[in-house]
Structure 1
Amino acid sequence: MTDVFSAGVLVYRHREAGIEVLLGHMGGPFWAKKDASAWSIPKGEYLSEEESARDAARREFTEELGLPAPEGEWIDLGEVVYRSGAKRKYLTAWAVEGDLDPADVVPGTFEMEWPPRSGRLAKFPEVDRVDWFDLTTAAGKLGKSQRPFLTRFTDRLP
């Protein structure tokens, strides 16, 4: 079993109705018709053992959304560990205040064989849409393994 290490950024903003967080709907054919548990914080794997988690989080934010990560104070949300197939995945995250327009997002892409066993590679966006959600709605949108970050975030709000 190979462990996988990833890092991500939970961007939040203050609104009259309360706090909202930015999530991306996972791209590709497996997620196209799903909504509940089909959203994620911008995240991705470290490039090397020398890359810090925070540097990986910042880089992945830019790769997934095509925009720089906000520069504000980064709030450490710790790590979650979950399984994906035979792999154990470690995801470290930070929250940072920022405000961006989802219309400005230019998602990165990935390739995969599609349709399965066809021998053809197809290109898909890392995220197919990005939106702001209140914390209650976000909890239902996020994949189960990332939900602890929302609880930690609300516990550490400045």
Structure 2
Amino acid sequence: MAKRSAGILMHRARGKGLEVLLVHPGGPFWAKKDAGAWSIPKGEYEGEDPLACAVREFEEELGLRPDGDFIDLGEIRQAGGKQVVAFAVEGDFDPSALLSNDFEMEWPPRSGKQQSFPEIDRAEWFSLDEARVRINAAQADFLDRLVELLG
């Protein structure tokens, strides 16, 4: 069975148009990756309400509990088979206030040493055009659905 994740696409209106908040995964494997590496804040769930999971994961990864009128953006399937359901919410977040939880892994490989890394190392607001370049290709559908729903 495919893994399932739920996440939140936070958006805001600015003078130059709509902006969306994306996050960059932390850790050594992602350190030098940019285009296609960014994502909505999300996390895996099993037997849990997807929206409850999405809210919890957003708070764990960014340090802010999102609040507002959540819009269901549906589900996509990523290249690796993971299914991701997303919800949009209007809001604001100061990327310099990022307070991510950490994970541990053996690093360097085969060293026997455990190191701690932030789950998310950066969060940034992007215009829709820039977000389409940065976001995981499958998740770009969420951007299109957001634009359609907001009119």
**TM-score over 0.5 (shorter chain):** yes
Please tell me the TM-score bracket, short chain as reference. over 0.9
Alignment match, 2:52: 55
Question: Contact between 2:86 and 2:142, CA under 8 Å: does it hold in 1?
Answer: yes
Following superposition of structure 1 onto structure 2, how do residues 73-152 of structure 1 map, counting pairs within 5 Å?
A: 73-84=69-80, 88-152=81-145
| Structure 2: gaps (5+ residues) | none
The percentage of counterpart residues that share the same residue type is 53
Superposed displacement of residue 142, structure 1: 0.3
Cα distance in structure 2, aligned partners of 1:18 and 1:40: 20
Alignment match, 1:31: 30
Displaced runs of 4+ in structure 1, greater than 3 A? none
TM-score w.r.t. length of structure 2: 0.95
Alignment match, 1:72: 68
TM-score w.r.t. length of structure 1: 0.91
- RMSD over aligned CA atoms reads 1.2
In the alignment of these two chains, the number of paired residues is 151
Cα distance in structure 1, aligned partners of 2:63 and 2:68: 18
Q: For residues 57-99 of structure 1, what are the alpha-carbon distances to aligned partners after superposition, in whole Å with 9 as ceiling and x for unaligned? A: 0000011111111x21111110011242xxx311000110001
| Structure 1: gaps (5+ residues) | none
Cα distance in structure 1, aligned partners of 2:106 and 2:144: 36
Question: Contact between 2:78 and 2:139, CA under 8 Å: does it hold in 1?
Answer: no
Superposed displacement of residue 119, structure 1: 2.1
Cα distance in structure 2, aligned partners of 1:93 and 1:73: 13
